[in-house]
Amino acid sequence: MSWIGVQYWETPTFFHWPVPYDTLRKLVPEPFELDTFNGQAWMSVVPFQATATYPRFGSKLLSLGPLWQLNIRTYIRFNGKPGVYFLKVYTDSNISRIGAHTLLSLPFYAAQFDSFSTEDNIACLMTLPNKSEDTRFSMDVTASSDLYYAKKDSLAYWLTERTNFYDIKGKRIIQAPIDHKPWKLQDADYKINYQNLDKVIPCNKELLVQLAASQKTYLYPFKVKGIYLK
């Protein structure tokens, strides 16, 4: 199957938390199995800037242009195949938000982003319209290691190398494939504030943080993989 579009991810940052299995199981629809690594369930916050999004055929003038996105996600399996399930997605792109609601049933919400980045550092502030300043996400992340590829049996690989996300649209179980080269990761020092962003994100708990090198991701047509009968 051929890819239909490209999105260029600029220095995505991965924040990962271990979360009790039962807490996340309640948030994931029944057709999907909550995935675990050595028995531990995880959730992640992944902010990134897509500097360009354009179709395979046609002019790059059709690109959406730069947009920010912040995913709150957990990890699942469907028919044995690993994937991602989005709990919430924030973006400053109205087109992305409308498309996600129309084509799928992804929980996209409007947000405002301010950012500053250098070669080894990225800082970002996300606020929500019509919400108090107490509801926000901010980060200041600096690379603290050389670039490396995660080993295939490692937690870092399990968390970052996922090439499908799943959704339920009406009664249809949808698989959305994406593809990219393996992430080049860096360990990172960080300051983060996720005040009132999502009650599921653990407070005062150690987290795993990685910066990833910028690269293209390839988008593929959605597939209907089953019917969900509640």
Indicate if the pLDDT at residue 202 is higher than 70: yes
Task: Please provide the distance, in angstroms rounded to a whole number, between the alpha carbons at the two ends of the chain.
Answer: 31
Per-residue pLDDT, 138: 95
The residue type at 134: D
The model's pLDDT over 61-81, given as tens digits with 9 standing for 90+, comes to 667 889 999 999 999 999 999
CA atoms within 13 A on the CB side of 197: 24
Per-residue pLDDT, 39: 97
Per-residue pLDDT, 54: 87
Q: What is the CATH number of the domain that holds 123?
A: 2.40.400.10
Task: Domain of residue 36: give its range.
Answer: 5-227
Average pLDDT over residues 82-87: 97
Per-residue pLDDT, 230: 76
Place of tokens 């080269």: 181
Percent of the chain with pLDDT over 90: 79
- Poorest-confidence range of 29-43, 121-135, 184-198? 121-135
User: Cα dihedral angle (13, 18, 21, 23), rounded to 10 degrees?
Assistant: -70
Q: What is the CA radius of gyration of the chain?
A: 17
The model's pLDDT over 140-185, given as tens digits with 9 standing for 90+, comes to 999 999 999 999 999 999 999 999 999 999 999 999 999 999 999 9
Domain count, the chain: 1
Per-residue pLDDT, 64: 81
Indicate if the pLDDT at residue 60 is higher than 70: no
Average pLDDT over residues 190-214: 89
Q: Which residues contact 153 (CB under 8 A, 6 or more apart)?
A: none
User: What CA–CA distances, in Å, run from 44 to 69, 125, 128, 166?
Assistant: 13, 17, 19, 16
Average pLDDT, the chain: 93
The model's pLDDT over 212-230, given as tens digits with 9 standing for 90+, comes to 999 999 999 999 999 998 7
Average pLDDT over residues 123-143: 88
Per-residue pLDDT, 65: 82
